[in-house]
Amino acid sequence: MTEQDDDTDSAIDSSTGTDSGSDLIDSAFASEQADDESRDRTDTDSQHGSIGASSLDDIVLDDVEDTDDAGEASRGLFDDLLSGEPIFEKKEVLRPSYTPRKLPHREDQINNMATILVSALRGDTPSNILIYGKTGTGKTASAKFVSEELESTSEKYSVACEVEYINCEVTDTQYRVLAQLANKFIEKNRDHITDRIDELESLRERVREDESSLAETDFESIGDIESTLESLREEREGFEEVPMTGWPTDRVYSTFFEAVDYTERVVVIMLDEIDKLVEKSGDDTLYNLSRMNSELEKSKVSIIGISNDLKFTDFLDPRVKSSLGEEEIVFPPYDANQLRDILQARAEVAFEDGSLSDDVIPLCAAFAAQEHGDARRALDLLRTAGELAERDKTDRVEEDHVRQAQEKIELDRVVEVVRTLPTQSKLVLFAIILLEKNGVHNINTGEVYNIYKSLCEEIDADVLTQRRVTDLISELDMLGIVNAVVVSKGRYGRTKEISLSVPIDETEAVLLSDSRLGDIEDVQPFVQARFDQ
C-alpha cells in the first residue's frame, strides 16, 4: 500500500469519526425537540378537552370498525383453503407407517417369513430371522404384515403368541431396549391379571346366588375365591415398571426376564434398524436375547432383526452371529415397473377418482427407481406432489407437481444430511460457504483450511490437521454436498478444486441453527483477512 493510500485512509477515518459525532449530537437534539412538541400537544389537548374528546371518539369508532373487518378476513382463512375440490381421499395410505393389506412383489419374502414363524402357532420356538435390504425395499412393511397375520391367527386358534416391535434408531441402547420390552410385558401381565380378577368376581357373584356353581370350579368356598382375588390384586400391584434411566442393567434384564416368563406364550421381538443398536451399544443386547430360551421356563422368545446394512453381522461375536442369523431373507430393490404397481395400488385408495394425470405415477416410479428402487421415496414423491397440487388449488396432480416435489424432497434431504453432520464437518462446510459467498471460485484445500482454523478459534473447537480436513472434504463429496475434483498444477503438484453442490442460503441457515456455530457473531473479518494475505 502506498503512502498516499495511507493518507487517504486516515482522512476517511477522520471524516467518518466526525460525522458519527455530529450524528449523535443531532440525534440527541432531535429527541429533545420531539419531547418539547409532545408536551406542547398535551397542554393543548387539556385546554380543549371537550372538542378533543369528541374527535378522539370519532377516531376510535372508525378504528373499531376497521378491526372488525380484519377479523372477518381472518375467520375466512381456512374457508378459502377448503374451497377447492379435495384431491386426497385417504392420505395416510401414502405414509411409510401404513401397512397395506397387500404388498405387491414381496410374496416370496412374505411366504418365507410365514413358513418360519408358523411354528409359533404350534407352541414351538421359531428360528431367529435376519432381514436385509436397502431403504424402501419393503422390509419393515412385510415384517409387520406377517406379524399382524401371526397375531390375528393366534387369537383365532387361542394360541398365546405376541409380537413386539422396537425401532432401534430411536431405542438405541441395551438399557432402553430392555426397559421398553420389560414395561410392555409388565402392562400385558397387569391386563392378564385384571381379566382373571374380573372372571373371579363374576364367579363370586354367581356363587352367592347359587352355591352349586362351585361344583364346576377348583374352589371349595367363596372364601377361597376371596383369598385368590386378594393375592391377585397384590400381585398386580407388585409389578414395578422400569424407569428410562437409573437402574443397573442387570436389574433391568432380570425384570424383563421375569415379565416375559410370567405366563406361557411365544414372543417374537422385532428389532428394526438392528445395525443402529449394534453400532451404538455393541452386541450385548443380542447376546442376552438370543440366549434367553435356555433359561426361560414358561415362554419362548424369537428375534427378527431388520437391517439396511448387509455387513453389520461382521462386527458381531461369532456366537451371537450363529444364533441370530439362523434364517436370512434378502429384499432386492424394486424396479420401475414394480414401483409403478405399488403406487397404483396405493393411489387407488389415497386419491379421489380422476385426481391424477396419466403421467404422474410413471414419473414418480422413474424418479424412485434411480434412488436404488426406493418405494418409500416413490410414495413420498406422490404424496408431496398431491400436497403441492392442493396448495395450487387445482383438482388434478400433474407432471409439473411431481417435478416440484422432487426438488422439494431433495432439498429436505440435503437439510437433514447437513443437520446431522459432526461439528468438524460443519465447520469445514461453513468455510467453503464463506469462500463462495465472497466470490472465490475453484476453491482449494489450503484456502478452506485457513478459514476453518479461524472458525475453530472463534468457537473454541479443536483444530484438525490439514490432512484430516482433506478427508472431511472427501466425505462431504461422497454425500453429494460438495464437488471436489483433483486437478494437476504441473510441477506444483495436485490439489482439489472444491465447489458447493447444494443451495448456499438454505445450507448456511441449517449450519447456523447449530448452537455452537450460531455463536459465531462475525465471520466476515476472517474471510477478509484471508483475501488480504
The answer on whether 184 is annotated among ligand-binding residues is: no
- DSSP state string for 107-157: HHHHHHHHHHHGGGGGTSPPPPEEEEE-TTSSHHHHHHHHHHHHHHHHHHT
Angle between helices 504-512 and 423-437 (to 10 degrees): 140
Q: Which of 319, 314, 318, 320 is nearest to 271 (CA)?
A: 320
d(CA 527, CA 440): 10
Residues 489-506 as b or e (16 or more Cβ within 10 Å = b):
eeeeeebbebebebeeee
Does 137 appear as a known binding residue?
Answer: yes
Sheet holding 266-272, edge to edge: 161-167, 266-272, 300-307, 129-133, 327-331
The reply, when asked if residue 138 is annotated as ligand binding, is yes
Q: What are the cell numbers at 395?
A: 383438482
User: Residue 486 pairs with which residues in a beta bridge?
Assistant: 496
| Pairing of the two strands 129-133 and 482-488 | unpaired
Q: Which of 532, 515, 529, 523 is nearest to 437 (CA)?
A: 523
CB of 169 closer than 8 Å to CB of 243: no
User: CB atoms < 10 A from the CB of 282, how many?
Assistant: 16
Is 334 annotated as a binding-site member? yes
141 marked ligand binding residue: yes
Quick check: helix, strand or coil at residue 443?
A: strand
Q: What is d(CA 264, CA 296) in angstroms, rounded to the nearest whole number?
A: 10
Q: How far is CA 174 from CA 266, 278, 306, in A?
A: 22, 9, 17
Looking up cell 475453530, which residue turns up?
A: 456
Question: What is the C-alpha to C-alpha distance for residues 512 and 533, in angstroms, rounded to an integer?
Answer: 27
Q: Which residues, in sequence order, are CB contacts of 3 under 8 Å at separation 6+?
A: none
How far is CA 504 from each of CA 193, 313, 414, 525, 526, rounded to the nearest angstrom? 60, 39, 11, 20, 19
The verdict on whether residue 182 carries a ligand-binding annotation is no
42 labelled ligand-binding: no
CB-based contact 267:260 (threshold 8 Å):
yes
Maximum alpha-carbon separation in the chain: 119
Please choose, from the candidates 482, 484, 478, the residue with its C-alpha nearest in 3D space to the C-alpha of residue 496: 484
DSSP H helices, 239-317, are: 249-260, 274-281, 284-290
Instruction: Give the H or E element holding residue 20.
Output: helix 3-47
Binding residues, by number, are 137-141, 334, 346
Write out the binding residues for ATP.
Answer: 137-141, 334, 346
